[in-house]
Structure 1
């Protein structure tokens, strides 16, 4: 069994742990912004393919005592990097964490890079080039106290970049956060789903992917593990084929989004097209005040502007009041969820939430507010 670590958004650790367990992870434990677990190579591939909440899946190589830069250099050189990297392959190093002697992540990453390429020169007489964008091998180190943990990034780029969304509107939700909000809502595909402020369509698209049982990793061009020396192409092909065979052909109920901006709706339609959902999601240009419920019951979820990213707007308080009025008047029988980073604006909705979930949209502490409309 190999030790793995999934990096996740702050506040979503328990939710991500549940997802990883459902995919077969063993000995799961949560920590700040991450989930540790164990499994085999098949599990590593499967989680990269299927998990909707993590950013990266790291495979742990070793830990060692690391009080200062010299100890860091020695510890990295104690690893036989020829098992993982040849001079023809490119390299990137990402460092997180710190201690009193290693308190700058850029410096720590540079020390690690130097230790690796110095070993390569001694072994091969040549060294790998650095590629920060698309490296063949991404090394991750995390320094906590006097210990350093060294891992390989099996995901490559962050898993929130599904690969279907080249077009984004202003202040878009990360796909991983959108998936987490949907999971928190307890929405099931037999219920209608509507985002009346859909922007570039992330929430309806993530709902449709879940509703059709489509693995989000199928849209990505590459994963980090595909460039590892022990990459099992047959196993990977098999897992992708199995994922494609498990897809459903049609959604059991309505999933849609609306927005007042025709240009941002074009982006949403383009993103839906990129993952084969053009015929599954209904996008409409509509003012919020003209909104009508598409069914007698369902889940409404939206991420209205809350000032911190899109700029303060004198009309935001009035808009939040409008949301509350619309929920009461036109969405009886529905459950509404509003993500906001501005609790003062949230009061303008004028309704008492039945639940509040703390989540982070980037660095902004937000609340996902649940309103049950009887």
Structure 2
């Protein structure tokens, strides 16, 4: 059994524990911005392929007390790096956290890199080159109090970048956060899902992938572990085929998105095509004032803008009031979820929320507000 750590956005620790346990992880324990768990190589590949919430899945190599730069260098050199890295493979080092003496992440990363390549020079007379963007092996070093944890990053590029969304609108919602919001809402795939402010389509698309049981990792070009020395290509191919064969053919209930901006609707349609779900999901250009409920019940979900202004001339307070009016007058029998990072604007909706769930959109504290529309 290897030890792993899945990193998530602040506040999503309880959700990632649930997701990891569903995927078969053992000994799952919540931590700071993530959860530790145990499992074999199959689980590592499966979590990268299927998990909707994490940014990265780290495989723990070593943990040791560390107070100074000398401690760090010596302990990094005590690891036999030839088991993970040969001179023909490129590397990158990511450092997070700090101690009293090691309080600059760039210096920490440099110290780790030097310890590794100096060991390679002694062993092989050659060393790995540094490649920051797409390294063959990405090493993660985390300092906390007087300790250091060294891990390999099995994911490569952050898992929130599914790969289906080269086209994004302004201030797009991360795919992993969209998936988390949908999970927090308790939405079931038998309920219609409608986002009347859908932008480039992230919320409807994540709902669609979940409803059709499509693994989010299927759209990625590659995972970090694919260039590891012990990569089992046959196992990965088997898990990919297994994921493809478990997809559902049709949605149990419609998933719609609309937006006033024709350009972002074009982006949403392109993203749906990249997912292979353009025949399942409906996107349309529509002003909010023209939106009506397409069925008697369902879930309406939206992430309205919460900056100072919407466009050049329109007032956001009036926009939020209009949103509240549309929901109140035209969506009786539905449940609404609105993500807001601005309490004053949320009050302009003019509806009483039945639940407010604190979440972070990046570093911005927000609330996912639930409204029962009678």
TM class by smaller structure: over 0.9
Q: What are the equivalent positions in structure 2 for 1:295-314 lying under 5 Å apart?
A: 295-307=295-307
Post-superposition shift, 1:226?
0.8
Tell me, yes or no, if the aligned pair for 2:309 and 2:315 is still in contact at 8 Å.
no
Other-structure match for 1:88: 88
Q: SS in structure 2 opposite 1:338?
A: strand
Q: SS in structure 2 opposite 1:180?
A: helix
Structure 1 CA distance, aligned partners of 2:98 and 2:344?
36
Q: What are the equivalent positions in structure 2 for 1:1-374 lying under 5 Å apart?
A: 1-307=1-307, 315-374=315-374
Q: SS in structure 1 opposite 2:293?
A: coil
CA displacement 1:215-238 (0-9 Å, x = unmatched): 000110100111111111111111
Tell me, yes or no, if the aligned pair for 1:170 and 1:310 is still in contact at 8 Å.
no
Taking structure 1 as reference, are residues 194 and 20 closer, same or farther at Cα in structure 2, changes over 3 Å only? same
Post-superposition shift, 1:292?
0.8
Post-superposition shift, 1:313?
7.4
CA displacement 1:134-183 (0-9 Å, x = unmatched): 00000000000110000000001100000100000000000000000111
Cα RMSD after superposing both structures: 1.2
Structure 1 CA distance, aligned partners of 2:308 and 2:101?
35
TM-score norm. by structure 2 comes to 0.98
Tell me, yes or no, if the aligned pair for 1:171 and 1:310 is still in contact at 8 Å.
no
Unpaired stretches in structure 1, ≥5 consecutive residues: none
Structure 1 CA distance, aligned partners of 2:232 and 2:114?
30
Structure 1 CA distance, aligned partners of 2:108 and 2:280?
48
Structure 2 CA distance, aligned partners of 1:68 and 1:238?
45
Tell me, yes or no, if the aligned pair for 2:310 and 2:316 is still in contact at 8 Å.
no
Tell me, yes or no, if the aligned pair for 2:2 and 2:60 is still in contact at 8 Å.
yes
Unpaired stretches in structure 2, ≥5 consecutive residues: none
For these two proteins, the number of residue pairs brought into alignment is 374
Runs of 4 or more off by more than 4 Å in structure 1? 308-314
Structure 1 CA distance, aligned partners of 2:35 and 2:3?
11
Structure 1 CA distance, aligned partners of 2:345 and 2:312?
11
Q: SS in structure 1 opposite 2:138?
A: strand
Post-superposition shift, 1:344?
1.1
Tell me, yes or no, if the aligned pair for 1:265 and 1:283 is still in contact at 8 Å.
yes
